[in-house]
Structure formats: C-alpha cells, structure tokens
C-alpha cells in the first residue's frame, strides 16, 4: 500500500513538471557530426549512447519500443541499450539493430540475490533462480560484460562486494538514485517550479558515494564506470508519459570510443573501459579524450601502461572548463583550459573529472599506471 501511495504521489509530481516551466529552457541537444578526435587511434570515433532503459517487458514500465527509438532520435544519440528485467524479449523479436540513425542494442538487468546487474552482450537468457556467483559464472562464460546497478540505492543496493572480481564494472552515476535522494515532497516542489529539462539538470551532481566506492575498487583492480538513465517511463496520465524518456535521455550519456559502430564494437568498448560519462543536459559533448603517451605509443582510458620517467598524460576538451585529474581517488591536479598535459607522478590510477560552470560535466574511466 505504501509503495502504491508513493507511486501515485510521484505520478502527481511528474504531472506538474510535465507542463510547468517557470524557468526558461536550457538549450536542447543537437546532432553533431562524428569527427576524429586528437589522440584517438585511426578509425576510432566517439559514439554517444543511452544506457539502462526499460520498456513494457519490465515490471512497472509502460514504454514501447518505438517510444525508446523516437526519444533516442530526439536526444541525438548514436545508440541506446535496452535492459529489461530478466529477459531478452526484444532480442528474440529481432528488434536489435539500426532504426534510423540509432543503433538499438539489447542487454538485460538481472535481479540477482546480491542486487541488480546489467549484462551487455549476452545472447541467451540467464536464470536468476541460482546464487549470484553461479549467475556471474554464466555471464563470464558467455563473454558478456556485467555492471552493478544503482549500488547506493537504498531500495535495491548491491550487497556482496566480494564478487567484484567477477564483474566488469559499476554504474558510477544512476539518475533515479540521485532523484530519490530528494524524497517525494522535494521532488514535487521542484517539479512545480522547474521545466522538465531544468529538473534533470538539478539532479546532475557529483555522485560522491559511488565515486568513493569506485575509487577504492580501482586501487585493487580494473573496474569500468558507466552512467545510467535507468528509465522506466512507468507513469501515464491520459495516455501521456509523465516520467518521459525524452527528459531522462537528455540528462546523462555514456560515450563509447570504438572503431566499429556495431553490437560487437560498442559492447567491446564497454568491456575494455573505452567509455566516459557525459552530461549533455549541462552541455552536449562529443570530443573528450584522455590518454597517456608512453615510450611504446598512446594508451587510452580504460587501459594500463607501464610507468617510466617522462610518461605523459593528456586531456582534450572541445572548450575551456575546469579539469580535475585524480590519482588513486584524490585530486592531483586542477587546471582550467581546453587541454592539459603533465607527467605521471609514479604508479597509480589516474582519472579525470571535468566541470563546466561548477557543474559536473564529464567523468572519465581511468588510465592504470602500473
């Protein structure tokens, strides 16, 4: 009953913000031509995508396949990954593939005994009626990538971190997890005052708890970080979606650096950590790069490099912003500009956060200096 009351309350709040706009709209996203980025190996491009989307094949979700595609088109992203709960229905119905400009990929969110796990690249359904370790062994055997979902969400946290060696990575940013932190009353108040886009903008903030946990794991081993919209589009009023895909798709994207725009190419980028989180609601981005220049050549985010004196780290941005370079989870450098270069300070895990007008804009995956 309490859950039903909460759902009705949230639906009422979302109804308010679906039509109210007491503040001017931010500039919406625009499709940008794919172009070579300084530092990227030949043939690699930056593909922007939406990760962790639910449809009518998930409980408490009402979104149709075409609604997902249309919202992705309007958000001007290159790919979208549907992860319905514990099934691969859209894959079985042969819906995976290109739909207009958008590559639709199908994964699944498994409801394991230890928490929820997004699995990308699996082709056969995996039974959740077994312990989490056995589930992860099946995922590993399939060659798929696995990501812990909304680890800090009080309703559905991840409970067994001893299994992390069997997991590819985690959602460093989960949009609903940030929203639920406000509580239903505050959500309702903000919904009444803000436009949908401004509401999403207000929930884009540095995910301190998730980043702290991620940094602790990174010191031990490679662990890929991704950003998730976790969109359900569950509430409707007179046929209109109240928690629409459109608003959520504009908020956060995961960019894949790949040399093959296909199911294999995109999922391979996720497995290797050739990805970064971008918050398009702050400002659309498609040309960020973080690399190391070693004696043997260039190394991109997600990869390891052997330390030697003179090892250089470089960051490229499309425009000037504040660049924070973190080493083993602690700020090491902080500069402003559209690029930065410096020598690595010994062994460690180096990653980048970028802020535009004091708002988190980009979170990179690390370069591991071993």
The CATH number covering residue 106 comes to 3.20.20.140
Task: Judge whether 368 and 351 are in contact, CB under 8 Å.
Answer: no
Please list, in sequence order, all residues whose beta carbon lies within 8 angstroms of the beta carbon of residue 299, skipping any fewer than 6 positions away.
291, 292, 293, 305, 367
Residue 365 — φ and ψ, nearest 5°? Answer: -85, 160
User: Given this model, what pLDDT does residue 295 score?
Assistant: 82
d(CA 154, CA 252): 21
Do 257 and 182 reside in the same domain of the chain? yes
The CATH number covering residue 332 comes to 2.60.40.10
Do 124 and 240 reside in the same domain of the chain? yes
d(CA 130, CA 132): 7
Give the three-state DSSP class for 77. coil
Do 70 and 219 reside in the same domain of the chain? yes
Do 223 and 323 reside in the same domain of the chain? no
Do 363 and 281 reside in the same domain of the chain? no
Is position 25 within any domain? no
d(CA 52, CA 138): 21
Do 322 and 281 reside in the same domain of the chain? no
Give pLDDT tens digits along the chain (370 positions).
Answer: 334 334 434 443 443 333 333 333 344 444 455 667 766 788 899 999 999 999 999 988 989 999 999 999 999 999 999 999 999 999 999 999 999 999 999 999 999 999 999 999 999 999 999 999 999 999 999 999 999 999 988 888 999 999 999 999 999 999 999 988 888 788 878 877 888 889 999 999 999 999 999 999 999 999 999 999 999 986 555 455 556 899 899 999 999 999 999 999 999 999 999 999 999 999 999 889 999 998 888 999 999 999 999 999 999 999 999 999 999 999 999 999 999 999 999 999 999 999 999 999 999 999 999 9
Tell me which of 234, 266, 286 is where a domain ends. Answer: 286
Is position 201 within any domain? yes
Kind and range of the H or E run holding 11: helix 2-19
How far, rounded to the nearest angstrom, does the alpha carbon of residue 246 sit from its chain's CA centroid? 16
Is position 26 within any domain? no
Do 76 and 97 reside in the same domain of the chain? yes
User: Given this model, what pLDDT does residue 197 score?
Assistant: 87
Is position 282 within any domain? yes
User: Given this model, what pLDDT does residue 186 score?
Assistant: 85
CA dihedral 118, 123, 127, 133 (to 10 degrees): -60
Tell me which of 224, 257, 286 is where a domain ends. Answer: 286
Domain housing 126: 2-18+33-286
Residue 84 — φ and ψ, nearest 5°? Answer: -65, 155
pTM: 0.90
Do 279 and 292 reside in the same domain of the chain? no
User: Given this model, what pLDDT does residue 311 score?
Assistant: 96
Is position 125 within any domain? yes
Is position 27 within any domain? no
Tell me which of 217, 252, 286 is where a domain ends. Answer: 286
Do 322 and 257 reside in the same domain of the chain? no
Do 219 and 331 reside in the same domain of the chain? no
Give the three-state DSSP class for 334. strand
Is position 295 within any domain? yes
Kind and range of the H or E run holding 134: helix 132-142
Do 279 and 323 reside in the same domain of the chain? no
Nearest residue to 251 via CA among 151, 157, 177, 322: 177
Distances (CA, A) of 69 to 64, 72, 246, 361: 9, 5, 10, 25
Is position 24 within any domain? no
Do 368 and 331 reside in the same domain of the chain? yes
Distances (CA, A) of 94 to 90, 97, 98, 238, 301: 6, 8, 11, 31, 33
| Domain count across the chain | 2
């Amino acid at each position: 009953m309490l859950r039903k009351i909460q759902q009705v309350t949230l639906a009422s709040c979302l109804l308010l913000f679906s039509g109210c706009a007491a503040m001017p709209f931010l500039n919406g996203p625009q499709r940008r031509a794919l172009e070579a980025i300084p530092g990227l190996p030949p043939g690699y491009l930056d593909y922007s995508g939406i990760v962790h989307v639910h449809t009518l094949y998930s409980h408490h979700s009402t979104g149709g396949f075409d609604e997902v595609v249309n919202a992705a088109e309007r958000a001007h992203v290159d790919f979208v990954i549907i992860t319905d709960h514990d099934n691969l229905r859209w894959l079985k119905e042969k819906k995976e593939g290109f739909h207009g400009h958008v590559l639709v990929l199908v994964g699944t969110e498994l409801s394991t005994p230890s928490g929820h796990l997004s699995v990308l690249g699996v082709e056969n359904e995996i039974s959740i009626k077994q312990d989490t370790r056995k589930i992860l062994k099946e995922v590993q055997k399939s060659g798929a990538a696995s990501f812990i979902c909304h680890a800090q969400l009080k309703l559905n946290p991840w409970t067994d971190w001893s299994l992390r060696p069997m997991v590819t990575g985690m959602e460093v940013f989960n949009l609903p997890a940030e929203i639920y932190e406000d509580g239903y009353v505050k959500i309702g108040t903000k919904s009444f005052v803000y436009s949908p886009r401004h509401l999403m903008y207000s929930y884009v903030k540095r995910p301190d708890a998730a980043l702290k946990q991620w940094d602790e794991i990174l010191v031990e081993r490679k662990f890929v970080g991704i950003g998730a919209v976790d969109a359900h589009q569950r509430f409707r009023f007179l046929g209109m979606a109240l928690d629409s895909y459109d608003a959520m798709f504009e908020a956060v994207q995961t960019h894949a650096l790949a040399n093959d725009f296909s199911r294999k190419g995109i999922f391979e980028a996720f497995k290797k950590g050739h990805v970064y989180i971008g918050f398009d609601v702050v400002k659309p981005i498609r040309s960020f790069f973080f690399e190391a220049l070693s004696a043997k050549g260039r190394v991109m985010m997600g990869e390891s490099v052997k330390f030697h004196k003179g090892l250089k780290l470089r960051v490229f941005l499309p425009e000037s912003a504040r660049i924070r370079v973190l080493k083993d989870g602690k700020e090491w450098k902080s500069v402003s500009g559209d690029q930065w270069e410096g020598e690595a300070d010994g062994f460690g895990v180096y990653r980048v956060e970028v802020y535009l007008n004091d708002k988190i804009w980009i979170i990179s995956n690390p370069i591991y200096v071993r």
